[in-house]
Structures are given as structure tokens and as C-alpha cells.
Amino acid sequence: MNLDDQKQWFEKKLLARFLRYVRVETTSNKHTTSIPSSKGQLHFAAMLLNELKSLQIPQAALDENGFVSAILPTSSPSLKQQTIGFIAHLDTSPDVTGTHVEPIVHENYSGKALMLKQGIRLSPHDSPILKNYLNQTIITSDGTTLLGADDKAGVAEIMTALEFLKNHPQIPHPNIEIIFTPDEETGRGMTKFPIKHIKSSVCFTVDGADEGTIEVECFEAYSLKITLRGQSIHLGDARGKLVNAVELAARLVEMLPKNESPQATDERFGYYSCVELQATIEHAQLEILIRDFNPKECKRRINVVASMIRTLERLYPGAKGKLKIKKQYSNMWRSLKAYPKLVTILEQAIRRTGVIPKRKYIRGGTDGARLSEMGIPTPNIFTGGHNFHSYLEWIALPAMVRAAQTIINVAELWSSVED
């Protein structure tokens, strides 16, 4: 089937779904151990479950941890019965507020800067890709919140592709499993992933950015939790006695190499990033993220931070430091390099939409990185969104259409692939 003939259907369905989804607050909360970490994610999950049931998608279910799943049976029993999965996450980043999101639909984009509230200005000078969508529909927030395209665009694209395949049984496809996951942004959701119940032999996360991109490589990732303990005493009697944990924390952050920070690196260079700091005179806690494509570089940075803590203990007699190291995820390429046909199929699927596929690496991670470690190879497909985790987040409707069509093309192409 020529999906271009259905362009208006895709635009209408995607726009309505996306606008409805982003208005549901699903900001994740990394300061709680519960999964999902926020009630809004459960509300959104229940909403999607009802939508799946209304579409009569079989085996639609919601578990106690907020995972939504369903399976669309193969279009024909004669086709291969291998199941493939598509995944997107329910939560949005806590870096920018997601409360009371009010999306703005900018039709017939003129190429000029888009003026949002509070003086926020989305300009092609800062986001040159905007110029690729002249006279097209652009969606932003009103400038007071993030938009939520990461990853409600992926959810909308999967749901729309699923509805299209349900309504067009003549399109060949294998069994299609969909999974919507909580707490991707905190990195904790996959600890409860229902791996024992998953039928898919391969999956695809729909959580990428630039239109046409395929991502099969990501950072190695560690979280360092640092506890610094000082010695408190009345400030009037502090000379020679006080060890201020606030100063210890500030000194440690200052010691991090500035040329190895996120704002100073790009491409394949990794970084240190202090993402949270809480401190009193007696006690301080920091979280530092370590990222690199090379695991040896991650280990080097971890050793550097450990050395910094020892240095602080020597410089400030009485100070005590403790380092807790947590591996968050591994470079998905370790698993995906053994499955070259995944990339081949993705490239063919994207070309069918009229876009040239681009293979990129992620300066971050996805649920697919964790799932690949679990034994299910999971590359990442674009959503079409830009400026994630920002007031300047935006997405173009034509890119969303092609993302949904890519999902359909992947399913159709997979139905003819030999095991």
C-alpha cells in the first residue's frame, strides 16, 4: 500500500493523539523508589489501556508497575510467527516542568522565529532544522513547560501505526507487541520490566530525535552518589574546628574538569556532570553522571572522582567522603552488532517514507540499551522531536507521520525476513 495516499489520515490521528497525550502530566520523580515514580504515569497508562481496548487490540494489559502491553496478531497465519516489539516511555523529564502543558500548533510555518510566552523565542538561528519544515505544521509548548515529545511522540506514533495496521489487515506483518514503559528518564523503570512475559525476539524503541535517524550505539553510563561529611560547630567557635560540607561539595564540583563537561563536549567525547547537590554544614550529597562510549574512559573518570574525594579528606582534616558507584546501562552496540539485519530493515523502512536514513549514535541512552543487555536487541527509531528536556522542545507533524509510517514499514518488511 502507498502510505503517502493516507497522509491526511496520519496527520489527523497523530495530531489529535499527541495533543491529548502531552496534556497529561507524567513527570518522573527520581527522589522516590516507587515505580512508576509519579501518579500521572499510571493515569496515562490507564488512558492508553482504554484506547487499546477501544481499538480491539488483543491482550491489552496494565501491570502494577505501570507497564502497558498488547499484541496485534499476525495478519496471516502463513507468515512467520516471530514477534517483534515497539517500545516508548510514558514519563517526561523532571529537568523542566511538565505541569499544565499547553501545546501550540503553528500551521504553515513561515521560517521566522516563533514567539512563545515569557519571552521564549524558538528561532531557526538556534534550531536550523526548523527550515526543513517551511509551510508545514510545527508543535511547541507555550514556553512555560517542556512539550513532552520525549516520548509522547513515540507513544502517539506507535498507537497510530497500530491503529492503521488494525484497519488494514491486507498489509502483511508478524505478531506485533507494544510496550509502554514508566520511568525511562530516571533510569529505574527497566528494573521492573516484565521480561519473562515478553514475546518479542527483537524490539525497536521509538525514542529518537532527528527525522530519519537510526541509533544503534549509546553511551556507557554510570551514576556516582557521593556523601561528604563535615564537622559542625557554632560558627562563633569555628576557628580550627569547623569542616563545612557545603564547601567540600562546592570544591569537589569545582575540581571536575571543565573541558570534560556536557557543555564542552560533543560527538564521541564523554563527560562528567554533577546533576544534583544537597548540602548542609554537616552533610552533603552529590550525584555525578559519568558518560562515554569507551568503558575504559568511564573507569578512568570514576577513579578520578575517587581520587578527588581522597584529596578533599587530606585538605580538610576531619572530612569524610564515601563513593557509591552504580552502572546504569551499557553501549547497546555490544548486543546489536550481532544483528546487522535490524539496521538493514530500518534503512529500507525509512527509505520507503521518502527520507534518507542516517545512522547515528546516542549521547545518552534508552530503554533499548537495557533491553539489549537483557538479550533482546533493540535499536532506536526517530520520533522527529528536537530540543528535548527544554522549554524550546518542538516537533514537526510531517516527521511524526514518517515515523509512524516507518513503524508500519518495519512490520511489513519483517514479515518476509528469513530467520
Active site residues: 91, 184
* Residues ≥6 apart with Cβ < 8 Å to 142: 102, 103, 104, 116, 117
Distance CA 409, CA 351 (A): 10
Residue 334: enclosing H or E segment and its boundaries? helix 333-336
E strands, 340-400, are 358-362, 380-382, 385-386, 394-396
Calculate helix-pair angle for 397-414, 149-167, nearest 10 degrees. Answer: 50
> Are 165 and 176 in contact, with CB atoms under 8 Å apart?
yes
**C-alpha span between 68 and 173 (Å, rounded):** 21
Beta partners for 375?
none
Q: Which residues of 388-414 are buried (b: 16+ CB within 10 A; e: fewer)?
A: bebbbbbbbbbbbbbbbbbbbbbbbbb
Contact predicate 19/105, CB 8 Å: yes
Q: Which of 62, 57, 65, 67 is nearest to 89 (CA)?
A: 67
Neighbours of 334 (CB within 10 A): 14
309, 288 contact by CB (below 8 A): no
Query: For 262, which DSSP code?
Result: G
Q: Look up cell 512555560; give the residue.
A: 144
Cα–Cα distance measured from residue 14 to residue 24, given in angstroms and rounded to the nearest whole number:
16
State the Cα angle at 217 between 213 and 219, rounded to 5°: 120
Instruction: Say which amino acid occupies 256.
Output: L
Q: What is the rounded end-to-end Cα distance, in angstroms, of the chain?
A: 25
Count CB neighbours of 246 within 10 A.
Answer: 17
Which residues contact residue 181 at a Cβ distance below 8 angstroms, ignoring those fewer than 6 apart? 66, 67, 87, 88, 89, 90, 189, 190, 193, 367
